[in-house]
Structure 1
Amino acid sequence: MIPLPTGHIAVIGSINVDFVCHVSRFPHPGETLHVRTATTGLGGKGANQAVALARLGAPVELAGQMGDDALAQVARAAMTDAGVGLRFVQTGGGDGTGRAFITINDAGENQILVHGGANMALRPDDVPALARALDGARVVMMQMEIPPDIVVRLCDQARTQDMTIIIDPAPVPPDGLPDALFTLATVLTPNETETQALTGILPTDAATARTAAAVLHQRGVECAIIKMGARGVFHSRRDGTDGFIPPFAVTAVDSVAAGDCFGAGLARMLASGAPLGQAVRYAAACGALATTRPGAAQAAPTAGEVEALLDSQGHCP
């Protein structure tokens, strides 16, 4: 049994309600398709990561903002049921609770449109309230579904408190990731598309991922973890040590929350004091399991399920 973190993990980021449509294939421009099934549920990278941590048994506090509307009630109920700490979630964002519109095809691929709503209404004077979630935390997770300048300010605060900072650079802002985040992040976890946006290199295997990681290290990244989906995961430190985790054999039906569950597994393990390679293996198992079931936050696996997969496929840390 892998030990739990001794302190809570802070997640600061987005809270959405997802509207999900399953289709046989993605429509062409101007084309109308019938939807096979449609569901509504909790989403947003911050909420997804927080729920995934709670399902892994880790103590977690979420900080963010929702609107003062019916969707906020839906999101709050789902997070409360999952066991997420919500003391630092504020309501009343002027643009309403965030929404995501997700289309998933028969191959398990997804296309996502996000309306940030209250997530993107955060302002610099909200930072002190959000930063309270950092007190007593060993690890903080952040993403790019809140304003980039807010992420930078929060990372600055986290640095003064000597904690591990995990940044999922998704979605990469139109103007690129702020330069400060390359040096402020302890760990940066882009997927293939985000890696290409940040480095100009599309990673398709360990060799191309290593080349892309070198670019990230040149920009100041201490630890780069490049997620390549069914091609595996590459991890690299600025000191030159690296490794590759092969993919787990699972039947994917929906990849919506895979990256968020990966991040939660990584944070849980790093907060428990695990070495990087072991943490990445565990995280990869979390991400793989998330693809085997539909939905975003509700697709997160339990610690028992993750350990069973590690045992069964010979990746046991």
Structure 2
Amino acid sequence: MTKTPSFIGRPITVFGSVNIDVCAYSDRLPRPGETVHGGGYAMGLGGKGANQAAAAARLGGQVEMVGRTGDDAFGEMARGRLAGFGVRTSHLSADPDHPTGIAVIGVEASGENCITVVGGANMAVSAEDAARAAPLFASSAILLLQLETPLAAGLAAAAAVRAGGGRVILDPAPAPRGGLAAEVFQAVDAMTPNETETESLVGLRPTSPEEAAAAADRLIGCGLSIAIVKMGGKGLYYRGPGQQGYLPPFPVNPIDTVAAGDCFNGGLAFALARGDDLAAAVRFASACGALATTRAGAADSAPTLAEVTALLG
């Protein structure tokens, strides 16, 4: 397998959201104005940032989390869950003025879901948080970003990581209406949008490998080095320096897709940090995302390295 220079000994850093998720499971999701009876519920660690951190750490990565929780019981729970995954939380602030973020998630039997997020302390994350973590960013191999915290703070973190020679991967979710400004594409190295996010970013909702390739071209044209366009059960297309291709989905039986994208990004960061080339890293990440759909929960759905290795064969 072709390798690129690795960042062994340098951490994967996640700058972003931390939530507590309350998931309700039912045969189908309710329509507006309707009540359905569920078969169970669960509370766990969530937030795209925390999910990505947990995913990379469960694989064996050295992972640091930067962000905010509230100074409350949910914040204490979130810190404990992150530590249980092996994520370092010394740069995760306890905000006395804002509650910990929460997500209320409905999951139906097919694995489809709908989510209501109350950002809480996540929306108070600022460039000051990035400045306090500047030494960490300067030594980071990979920075994982999402759009569940204020964008200006994420761009400040991205600049610090790139100044130190690291790479920045942005999961453009939730995708804003009207897409992202040109400066955002120029501030990061890679983006990993799904079909809906791709449409928001470049005006094309891909439903085939050919359309995903066209969308990836548009994303690269915006200034990215790497574009990975995900189509769920239809696979993905990736394009980067000297490498491109279509990857079909792994055959699994999904029950919960809540954190599949986050586990994909955590796996991508882990593989790139250890020196995998883009093609190998994307395949590894795809296996991580596929396995995450086979179990319930957000961060708790992240697979281990042994499980991913077994699926890859």
The TM-score normalised by the length of structure 2 is: 0.95
Letter in 2 for 1:254: D
Q: Please, which of 130, 133, 138 is the counterpart of residue 135 of structure 1?
A: 138
Q: Give the CA deviation at 1:4.
A: 9.2
Provide the alpha-carbon RMSD of the alignment. Answer: 1.8
- Asked whether the 8 Å contact 1:46–1:143 carries over to 2, the reply is yes
- Asked whether the 8 Å contact 1:23–1:36 carries over to 2, the reply is yes
Paired with 1:310 and 1:97, the residues of 2 have a C-alpha distance of: 37
Residues 235-246 of structure 1: pairs in structure 2 closer than 5 A = 235-237=238-240, 241-246=243-248
Q: Percent identity?
A: 44
- The aligned counterpart of 1:265 is 267
Paired with 2:9 and 2:46, the residues of 1 have a C-alpha distance of: 27
Q: Give the CA deviation at 1:93.
A: 5.1
Residues 175/70 of structure 1: CA separation in 2 closer, same or farther (3 Å cut): farther
Q: Please, which of 5, 9, 28 is the counterpart of residue 6 of structure 1?
A: 9
Residues 206/93 of structure 1: CA separation in 2 closer, same or farther (3 Å cut): farther
Mapped pair 1:119 → 2:119:
no
Residues 176/4 of structure 1: CA separation in 2 closer, same or farther (3 Å cut): closer
SS in 1 for 2:237: strand
Q: Please, which of 80, 87, 92 is the counterpart of residue 83 of structure 2?
A: 80
- Asked whether the 8 Å contact 2:51–2:262 carries over to 1, the reply is yes
- Residues matched between the structures, number: 310
Paired with 1:6 and 1:206, the residues of 2 have a C-alpha distance of: 36
Structure 2: give runs of 5+ residues left out of the alignment: none
Q: Give the CA deviation at 1:129.
A: 1.4
SS in 2 for 1:211: helix
Paired with 1:213 and 1:48, the residues of 2 have a C-alpha distance of: 25
Residues 46-85 of structure 1: pairs in structure 2 closer than 5 A = 46-85=49-88
Paired with 2:168 and 2:289, the residues of 1 have a C-alpha distance of: 19
Paired with 1:131 and 1:35, the residues of 2 have a C-alpha distance of: 45
- The aligned counterpart of 1:233 is 236
Residues 211/93 of structure 1: CA separation in 2 closer, same or farther (3 Å cut): farther
Q: Give the CA deviation at 1:125.
A: 2.6
After superposing on structure 2, the runs of 4+ consecutive aligned residues of structure 1 that deviate more than 2 Å are: 2-6, 123-127, 130-133, 173-179
- The aligned counterpart of 1:215 is 218
Q: Please, which of 192, 195, 211 is the counterpart of residue 192 of structure 1?
A: 195
Structure 1: give runs of 5+ residues left out of the alignment: 312-317
Q: Please, which of 45, 48, 55 is the counterpart of residue 48 of structure 2?
A: 45
- The aligned counterpart of 2:304 is 302
- Asked whether the 8 Å contact 1:4–1:272 carries over to 2, the reply is yes
- The aligned counterpart of 1:314 is none
SS in 2 for 1:119: helix
Residues 302/228 of structure 1: CA separation in 2 closer, same or farther (3 Å cut): same
- Asked whether the 8 Å contact 1:183–1:222 carries over to 2, the reply is no
The superposition leaves residues 277-300 of structure 1 with CA deviations (integer Å, 9 ceiling, x where unpaired) of 000000000000000000000000
Paired with 1:302 and 1:14, the residues of 2 have a C-alpha distance of: 22
Residues 240/80 of structure 1: CA separation in 2 closer, same or farther (3 Å cut): closer
Paired with 1:260 and 1:103, the residues of 2 have a C-alpha distance of: 18
Letter in 2 for 1:179: A
Q: Give the CA deviation at 1:146.
A: 0.4
Residues 4/303 of structure 1: CA separation in 2 closer, same or farther (3 Å cut): farther
The TM-score normalised by the length of structure 1 is: 0.94
Q: Please, which of 21, 26, 31 is the counterpart of residue 24 of structure 2?
A: 21
SS in 1 for 2:92: strand
Q: Give the CA deviation at 1:175.
A: 5.1
- Asked whether the 8 Å contact 2:7–2:141 carries over to 1, the reply is no
- The aligned counterpart of 2:94 is 91
SS in 2 for 1:36: strand
Paired with 1:284 and 1:151, the residues of 2 have a C-alpha distance of: 25
